[in-house]
Amino acid sequence: MIFGSISYLNLLPFHIFLKRYIQHSATKMAFNYKSGVPSKINSALKKRHIHAGFISSIESPHYRCSNLGIIANRAVHSVFVIEGENKKDKESATSNRLASVLGLKGEVIIGDKALIYYLNGGEGVDLATEWYKKNSLPFVFGLLCYTCYGEEIKKISKKFTKAPVKIPQYILKREAKLRGITPKQLLWYLKFIKYEMDYKSRKSLKRFLREAK
């Protein structure tokens, strides 16, 4: 299986889990892993360069998907529209469309660069917050979808949601240093991210996909 995953901090717990899962799984020798920004993972799944991966939720209707998502309730702190000319983020698909659905003008920025912008005092409109104000629902930015190996993906999803992943100190320090933030800020940010799709998440996703048409 070739698995693709978005390379942002919001999936760090899943990356740690997946590495452990591969190491202790019978599928170890048959499992390859690729990471990239959302737009790249979307393209890779469409071209069948990967078999499964976290992709932008706007693309999810084209595939079978698991019960795992990248979900933010009220605020996400890594997806903003900031002042300036109307400009899409080339790394994004869902967030660009969400800004349009919400009628927001300005530059869309997403991912780790947006988080760092915020932590350094930058101001902007948090798109998850705006969606919640309008709908009283969390927002689903991405979903774990697949074209094959469905049973294995379901098994991975189930195991990941059963127990929280503890981030080892050496990984926490390394990832924080790479991005120019503190370990405390990294852990603070992850508190806003949920992964298991529930009733409200599914309702929210359906609403967004309908409004985004």
CA distance 152 to 149: 5
List of residues 6+ apart from 111 with CB closer than 8 A: 8, 37, 78, 79, 89, 91
Say if residue 185's pLDDT is above 90.
yes
**Which one-letter DSSP state was computed for residue 182?**
-
Phi, psi angle pair for 34, to nearest 5°: -130, 145
List of residues 6+ apart from 60 with CB closer than 8 A: 143, 145, 205, 209
Q: Look at residues 110, 70, 114 and name the one whose alpha carbon lies nearest to residue 90.
A: 110
pTM as predicted: 0.93
Return the pLDDT at 26. 62
Structure tokens at 164: 């929280």
The pLDDT tens digits of the residues spanning 26-62 come to: 655 467 878 889 999 999 999 999 999 999 999 999 9
Say if residue 153's pLDDT is above 70.
yes
